[in-house]
Structure 1
Amino acid sequence: MSDFPSGKSESSSVLVTLMPIMAAVLVGFVIIGVALPVLPLHVHDDLGFDTFVVGLVAGAQFAASLVSRIWAGSYSDRRGAKQGVVTGLIGAVAAGLLYLLSLMLVNMPVLSVAILLTGRAVLGGAESFIITGAVAWGLGLVDREHAGKVIAWAGTAMFASMALGGPVGTVLYTSTGFISIALTTALLPLIVLLYIARMPAVAPHQHGEHSSLATVMRAVWWPGLGAALASIGYCAILAFSSLFYTEMHWHPVWMAFTAFGLALMLARTVAGHLPDRFGGARVALVFVVIQVAGMVLMWLARTSLIASFGAALAGFGYSLVYPGLGVEAVSATTPKNRGLAMGIYTAFLDIAMAIGSPGLGWIGGHIGLRAVFLFGAMVVACTAAVVCRLLFTGERS
């Protein structure tokens, strides 16, 4: 049995092992984040298209991500998780080159936007391979009892890079136009490819050792459902907090999302080990209660300070619900299927975001934006029932 100091040393060793993989995730999502705030400006102002085409170009990436999740997971299992990350980074470079090609044809807007749309779809597929391969790679490099750290830290790198990418992309676009976004998308993944080239790979499992898609889906279904329900709260704050603040005349309008993100990253940094130590489902049950409390506080808030505190509380709670349930998903499958399991598990988040945004928007339009956070809290609370089922079946097995 190891004492506490050696446990701290082991945790530091895990962090050092995972750093290059987290760098790949960071870059993979920075190049997504830099484009998000400026794509509408480029498509609308530079190419002259309406909001429908803007939405089409922006949404192509997320649709491609969802479609490619299972493929990315299966590929990582059969060809190796490192190869999955490498494939994703190469895909990101290709997306950047397509961005550049679209810029060469701005005098033919229809052809230019078609190529840009293709680049967005390629980037969506690349994102699936990067995040799914990175988690599977990390799980293969460290002991199984550190699965929660791998999932939590990968998510933290993803979240931080999306937050960083927005302001960086805005500065780049304002300074030099969309060409700087295209060059960033093409060049950053090349740098990471050189960085991870010497990292040890995890040998893929041979054919005949893999469970069927249906078998892995059954194993991941309940943790995935719980994660999807909890993610509706994240969706509510991401999509509607700025509109709510604007309606209430609170400033700055981005404060709720910033508070959510900072609390989430802080919690994962200081408490990311808890799912490994106490069990993913137990930790998820505690933290989902915190998340619900934060959402309810946002619904009740009459000042921006209280609303922002509620958002921070929700972020703190959500921080370990997703990795906690991710530990349950990984534990329910064999190591040779970890890539497919994480691909399916991540797809639940994609589906939640795809359904949650319009659903919450309908509620906000008919009942009011404040009701979005109450409804979000009610959906998130359903996660507790899923977690209780996981705990009950786990104790019986």
Structure 2
Amino acid sequence: MAPVSGGEATRRLLPFALMVFLGYLTVGLPLAVLPVEVHDVLGFGPVTVGWVMAVQSITTLLTRQFGGMVTDTRGPRPAVLAGTLLCAAASLVYGASVWARCPPAPALALLIAGRAVLGLGESLLITGVLAWAIGTVGPRYAGRAMVWVGIAMFGAIGIGGPLGTALMRMGGFGQVALAASILPLLACAQAAGMPPVAPHHGRRLAFFRVVGLIWPYGVSLALSTVGFGTMFAFLGLDYAARGWPGAPFGLTAFGIAYIAARLVFGGLPDRLGGRRVAVATIPLQTAGLVVLWLAPSPWIALAGCAIVGAGYSLTFPALGVEAARHVPPQNRGAAMGAYVAFVDIGLGLTGPLAGAVAGRFGYPAAFLFAAGASAWALISVLRLPAAQMVGHPET
């Protein structure tokens, strides 16, 4: 593939960002209201809330290998098409918990089933889009591809939080589920009209061999993911317990800061190397979580959410560009699936562990727990050999 300029690479990546944004609104719309539905409407406790939120990540983790295999053998576009359709189906399962007027236990079972279907859909969607985008612009701009995919993901989360809350107020959780089932179909239609990228031929490494090549970067990513996972799962309940208004805007503040940091500093991982970037961003995220732990008012907590967003923003591409360059092109889908699986590990552990901390010590303590995980992530990054954390070669 002929090299492209930075501006041309960005132009080619924008349709992928829109595709992810539409598909990921299935995650963003219910994010602020699902814990409330489980806790306040169905009457379950914070540990159950944590497990419900974790099911998606656990399922995504278990299906990353499948998503990478589909992407590498069938091509990224079939993976994305299947992923968007599954995301739409997951939201219909959510809606069934309301539309069928189920008692609390069956309704909870349907919500858990919907989270599981969404986990598989997200696995196929994000793995496919990442491989498709990198295949379109070339490995030289792998970091930029991850930046734009992340902007779309967290833009959907930032907008989806207040939008889902507004829909819940207008028509209940069923209205949220209906909206979340339609938007991925628009992403599916867009993907169907975009030119595909053919799978790479050649000998493919076994999936767990790929995991072995990238695991040092993935462990640091998993630990840093605990912070925003805790914030997403328990911010709304923390606000409600304190009698504070405006919890959905915490997700918006996170999303705005996340996107702003990527737009301004998104080229740094490709230019400076991941270790130098992550050593700066992970402490910032840790500071934001400490602010959330100590926040005396909703406005201070809102600032903490923004600091977490700015800090977490570049950690994913900073470590991801290095993970991607450690595997051959024919294993790019598996590498992206394995790398993103560490996000799932972080989120999967977050729900039950942070839920247990919140249940015993109160919701603010969950943010202190997450700050400790972020500090551990920084130690892990500092222990990575600097020689491995260099920028991509010009390819």
TM-score by length of structure 2 reads: 0.82
Corresponding residue SS for 2:314: helix
Q: Which residue of 1 aligns with 2:140?
A: 145
Retained in 2: the 8 A contact 1:82–1:137? yes
Aligned residues of 2:57 and 2:345 also touching (Cα < 8 A): no
* Deviation (angstroms), 1:67: 1.9
Equivalent in 44, 64, 74 of residue 51 of structure 1: 44
How far is the alpha carbon of 1:71 from its aligned partner? 1.0
Mapped partners of 1:238, 1:148: distance in 2: 25
Deviation at 1:267, TM superposition (A): 0.3
What are the superposed Cα offsets for residues 16-73 of structure 1, whole Å, 9 maximum, x if unpaired? 211221122112211233334555777899xx96538985766544432222122112
Structure 1 partner of 2:77: 82
CA distances 1:335-364 after superposition (whole Å, capped 9, x unpaired): 211211121212211221222233234444
2:266 aligned with 1:275: no
Match of 2:128 among 120, 130, 133: 133
User: Alpha carbons of 1:86 and 1:243: their partners in 2 closer, same or farther (altered >3 Å)?
Assistant: closer
| Cα displacement (A) at 1:316 | 1.3
Which amino acid counterpart does residue 9 of structure 2 have in structure 1? V
Deviation at 1:212, TM superposition (A): 0.8
1:384 aligned to 2:371? no
| Cα deviation digits, residues 277-315 of structure 1 (max 9, x gap) | 111222111222322333344455555555543443332
Kept in 2, the 8 Å contact 1:146–1:273? The answer is: no
After superposition, the Cα gap between the structure-2 partners of 1:373 and 1:184, relative to the gap in structure 1 and judged at 3 Å, is closer
2-structure distance, mates of 1:183, 1:295: 33
Structure 2 gaps, min length 5: 391-395
Structure number with the bigger relative contact order (C-alpha 8 A, sep ≥ 6) is 2
Per-residue Cα deviation, 1:365-392 (whole angstroms, up to 9, x for no partner): 5555554444433321222332233333
Listed as ranges, the matches of 1:172-321 within 5 Å are 172-176=167-171, 180-206=175-201, 209-242=203-236, 244=238, 252-253=246-247, 256-299=250-293, 302=296, 305-321=299-315
Deviation at 1:148, TM superposition (A): 1.4
Deviations along 1:82-102, whole A, 9 cap, x unmatched?
221111122234445556777
2:25 aligned residue (2, 23, 30): 30
Q: Secondary structure at the match of 2:196?
A: coil
Distance between the aligned counterparts of 1:307 and 1:289, measured in 2? 17
Q: Does the 8 A contact of 2:91 with 2:181 survive in 1?
A: yes
Q: Which amino acid aligns with 2:144?
A: K
Provide the rounded CA distance (Å) in 1 between the counterparts of 2:247 and 2:98. 33
- Structure 1: give runs of 5+ residues left out of the alignment: 1-6
Q: Which moved more, 1:158-167 or 1:77-86?
A: 158-167
- Please give the alpha-carbon distance, in whole angstroms, between the structure 2 residues aligned to 1:60 and 1:358: 10
% identity of equivalent residues: 39
Separation in structure 2 between the aligned mates of residue 188 and residue 171 of structure 1, nearest angstrom: 17
When residues 15 and 361 of structure 1 are mapped into structure 2, their CA distance, relative to the original with a 3 A threshold, is same
* Deviation (angstroms), 1:155: 1.5
8 Å CA contact 2:161–2:249 kept in 1: the answer is no
Contact residue 158 and residue 256 of structure 2 kept, 8 A: no
Structure 2 counterpart of 1:92: 87
Deviations 1:162-219 (A, max 9, x none): 232233334444444555445434433332232232322111123x521112210111
Q: Which one has a bigger Cα radius of gyration?
A: 1
* Correspondence for 1:3: none
Query: Does structure 1 conserve the Cα–Cα contact (< 8 Å) formed by 2:227 and 2:374?
Result: yes
Q: Is this contact kept in 2: 1:99–1:182, CA < 8 A?
A: yes
- Partners of 1:24 and 1:130 within 8 A in 2: no
**How many residue pairs align between the two structures?**
386
Give the alignment's Cα RMSD to 1 decimal: 3.6
Aligned equivalent of 2:150, options 145, 149, 155: 155
Match of 2:334 in 1: 340
Contact 1:81 1:133 in 2 (8 A): yes
Deviation at 1:127, TM superposition (A): 1.3
TM-score (normalizing by structure 1): 0.82
**Is 1:350 the counterpart of 2:344 in the alignment?**
yes
Aligned to 2:393: none
Native 8 Å contact 1:39 1:54 kept in 2: no
Distance 1:222 1:273 in 2: 22
Change (3 A) 1:21 1:51: same
Report the residue type matching 1:125 in the other structure: L
1:325 deviates by 0.8
Change (3 A) 1:110 1:66: same
